[in-house]
Amino acid sequence: MDKVKAGIIGTGNISGIYFRNGSRFESLEIVACADIDIGRAKQKAEEHGVRACTVDELLADPEIEMIINLTIPKAHAPVNLQALEAGKHVYVEKPLAVTLEEGREVLELAGRKGLLVGCAPDTFLGGGIQTCIRLIEEGAIGTPIGATVFMMIGGHETWHPSPEFYYQPGGGPMFDMGPYYLTALVAMLGPMRRVTGSARISFPERTITSQPKAGTVIPVEVPTHVAGVIDFEAGPIATIITSFDVKGGSTLPRIEVYGSEGTLVVPDPNTFDGPVRLSRAGSREWVDVPLTHGHTGNSRGIGAADMAKAIRTGRAHRASGALAYHVLEAMHGFHIASEEGRHYRLSSTCAKPLPLPPGLPEFTLD
């Protein structure tokens, strides 16, 4: 199978892992990169043995079939649309877009042009969560009843070199980290039906303490503590809290899934590994479950590679635009429900992503 040739737009911090992993997969080859800062693009290109070019040059290159969009959130939709207009499939870092209107526009344009859209996170394709999916489908916890989700941290201004966008529209804990948790839940439990919640801005300003911008004061424009409830189409009910306001740390689990016959402790959905722990009804003991799937190291880019395989074979891809839009709508739904004091019923749905087969060699997908 000929690899799909791809170009990266946006060569910031996260691009490194995409460069390192991208061409290791059987279906994908990264051949070029572009950035608004051409000097940074040239540096990354030299480091990873690809060519640097302008965005216009990248989009005009007939050899490149797929764009991997690693820009900041507010640029996601404009770059997605630009790539689609140029006839390229596009895979984008989360979120799919900042607004629901932009997200719909991206998917509608892709549909009209017969192109694929994919979106991070792809961590649910790692060995940890794939093992959890297999356990649930095999009935290890019986019928799923509910779940709890906690993402409790103190914010990014203490370590990130340029944390401003985390406190602007498209940022905040729900839009920054919520995609990992919500995508994992949908992969395990299926699509969501409605959400509700409460959200607040706990601190109207943040002071950067990391270099090089230490001392800079950031105005906070988005909720930084969001508590919500999710009703899934299949019946389970989940509670979720995402927060940038927990200054003293937390001992809460990342994700737990409860069933009629047991409880499953799900690993951090921002990673690809375990541990996976299981306790069955009537037992007070927790068992560490061996992982049934590979891709347990930092495998970011597996979603893009899976989409490349779909381009070549015609099968569905797993980290799809429909899944990403469904998650985007739910994230907006929590904020809307808080503002309006109601449940928000999702207008979108998506197929539950097809699990990966167990026992695959690293960097293969079928």
Strand partners, 197: 228
Radius of gyration for the alpha carbons in the chain, expressed in angstroms and rounded: 20
Write the single-letter amino acid at 138: E
Residue 85 maps to a domain: yes
The answer, yes or no, to whether residue 165 has pLDDT greater than 90, is no
The CATH code of the domain that includes 24 is 3.40.50.720
What per-residue confidence (pLDDT) applies to 362?
A: 87
Residue 10 maps to a domain: yes
Q: Give yes or no: residues 135 and 249 share one domain.
A: yes
What's CA 197's distance to the chain center, in Å? 21
What per-residue confidence (pLDDT) applies to 23?
A: 81
Query: Can you read off the two tokens belonging to residue 107?
Result: 């998917």
Q: Give yes or no: residues 159 and 136 share one domain.
A: yes
Q: Give yes or no: residues 149 and 265 share one domain.
A: yes
What per-residue confidence (pLDDT) applies to 66?
A: 98
Structural domain range at position 252:
124-288
Q: Give yes or no: residues 43 and 99 share one domain.
A: yes
In this prediction the pTM is 0.96
Instruction: Please write down the long-range contacts of 362-365, taking CB distance under 8 Å and 24 or more positions apart.
Output: 362/294, 362/295, 363/21, 363/24, 363/25, 363/26, 363/305, 364/25, 364/26, 365/25, 365/26, 365/27, 365/302, 365/305, 365/306, 365/309
Strand partners, 242: 151, 226
Q: Give yes or no: residues 150 and 262 share one domain.
A: yes
Q: How many domains does the chain have?
A: 2
The CATH code of the domain that includes 228 is 3.30.360.10
What is the Cα–Cα distance from 192 to 337, expressed in whole angstroms? Answer: 15
Residue 235 maps to a domain: yes
Residue 327 maps to a domain: yes
Q: Give yes or no: residues 112 and 131 share one domain.
A: no
What per-residue confidence (pLDDT) applies to 283?
A: 87
Provide the mean pLDDT of the chain.
96
Residue 358 maps to a domain: no
Q: Give yes or no: residues 173 and 141 share one domain.
A: yes
Give the pLDDT mean for 131-156: 97
With cut-offs at 50, 70 and 90, classify the pLDDT of residue 357: very high
Q: Give yes or no: residues 274 and 310 share one domain.
A: no
Q: Give yes or no: residues 49 and 179 share one domain.
A: no
Residue 352 maps to a domain: no
Q: Give yes or no: residues 227 and 247 share one domain.
A: yes
Give the pLDDT mean for 185-200: 98
Residue 293 maps to a domain: no
pLDDT, tens digit, 9 for 90 and up, residues 277-335: 999 998 889 999 999 999 999 999 999 999 999 999 999 999 999 999 999 999 999 99
Q: Give yes or no: residues 143 and 106 share one domain.
A: no
Q: Give yes or no: residues 244 and 335 share one domain.
A: no
Query: What's the Cα-to-Cα distance from 1 to each of 27, 28, 29, 125, 131, rounded to whole Å?
Result: 7, 10, 12, 22, 28
The answer, yes or no, to whether residue 108 has pLDDT greater than 90, is yes
Provide the 3-class DSSP secondary structure of residue 112. helix
pLDDT, tens digit, 9 for 90 and up, residues 254-283: 999 999 999 999 999 999 999 999 999 988
Residue 294 maps to a domain: no
